[in-house]
Amino acid sequence: MAKGFDTEPLPESDRAPACLHPRETYDLLGHSEAERRFIQAQQSGRLHHAWLLTGPPGIGKATLAYRMSRALLGGQSLMPESLNIPKSDPISQRIESRGHGNLFVVNRPWDSKTKKFKQDIPVDLIRSVGEFLQGTAAEDKESRVVIIDSADDLNRNAENALLKMLEEPPSKTVMILLSSSPGRLLPTIRSRCMAVPLKAVPKADIVDWLSRQGQGSKDMVEACANLSRGGPGKAMALAQNASEVLMPLKRFMESLDTGRVSIDIGIAKSLATQNAAVARALFWDVLEDSIQACAVYSQTDLWEGAFAPPNNKRNPEKWLKAWSLIREQKAIEAAINTDKTATLLNTLSAVRAA
């Protein structure tokens, strides 16, 4: 029997956990002002050649980038003054199937040997963008669109190569850069882009959106919204990983005034497996935000965390010390290879003892 081909699609670094890819997402929650700015620029005939969409992860940068791309490549909106181009549009179908010849997407590549994503976007990928821009348009429309998700992942050589393209942009080309930490980009790159900062989506809008999609109980939806940092994508990821992230967080927060180390051990072990990488990253975030909420609550009596506030407020300085420890341990784990069970267990124990 002939050996079959592996048809399993490669992982994509720009796909949020348990969510549709942004090219498959047609609704955008919030950011109407950002869309209005782009539409006005496009209609004026003076469209800037580079756009820098900024905001925290999960806020909708990539979804907006694909909505812009559909419009640039000739998609037809259902409504005037809108980027609501439907899934049924031929342009949408080409983009969703990754078959549109005038769209080039750059993100961290998958290493098939290590079974991990590369740590950065190498300069070779940016050089491929240059080749794409110099080639003949593959579709009837002459416009070309490049999405870089995320520009934060560019290594320094790649940044310098991109800068040259931004300094001498080809005609009828639009580059859309996404960044969660624009301050880390070269100032010369930022200065050559039209900056579009995306604001946090109101909590009430996220709650309503999750509820309409049937993403859990009222309490769980509220928790997802509280811990989303104003990002619908982050809220959806939390909802999809509630049993691995939010329920353990709830058990931990409710037991803070006890010595139930068994809870800490269970959480640390469950999030140390290779398959739990996404849930672990989310847990670090929500733990950090929850302890920060405790610090604010102990000082102001204002509770903005998930679930119920702790019975024992503790001294604000102790909460801040615990919060700093969480951030420190999260950064260390991201930088070097550590014992994941021990790192998280020691952190949870230290927070409990604070």
Is the Cβ–Cβ distance between 272 and 341 less than 8 Å? yes
In angstroms, the Cα distances linking 91 to 51, 60, 207, 210 are 21, 21, 32, 28
pTM: 0.83
Backbone angles phi, psi at 263, to 5 degrees: -65, -45
Using DSSP's 3-state secondary structure scheme, residue 266 falls into: helix
Q: Is residue 117 scored above 60 in pLDDT?
A: yes
Where residue 118 falls among pLDDT bands split at 50, 70, 90? confident
What's the token pair of residue 86? 């439907």
Q: Using one digit for the tens of pLDDT, what is the confidence trace for 12-68?
A: 777 766 577 889 989 899 999 999 999 999 999 889 999 999 999 889 999 999 999
Q: pLDDT tens across 176-196, in order?
A: 999 999 999 999 999 999 999
Pairing outcome for strands 103-106 and 110-111: unpaired
Report the C-alpha gap between 180 and 185 in whole angstroms: 10
Chain centroid to CA 302: 28
Task: Summarize the confidence of residues 252-276 as an average pLDDT.
Answer: 90
Asked if residues 75 and 42 have their Cβ atoms less than 8 Å apart, the reply is: no
Percent of the chain with pLDDT over 90: 65
Burial string for 31-67 (b: 16+ CB within 10 Å, else e) reads beebbeebbeebeeeebebbbbbbbbbbbbbbbbbbb
pLDDT number for residue 17: 60
Angle, CA of 29, 35 and 36, to the nearest 5°: 125
Is pLDDT above 80 for 202?
A: yes
For residue 103, give the nearest of 57, 149, 155, 58 by alpha carbon: 149
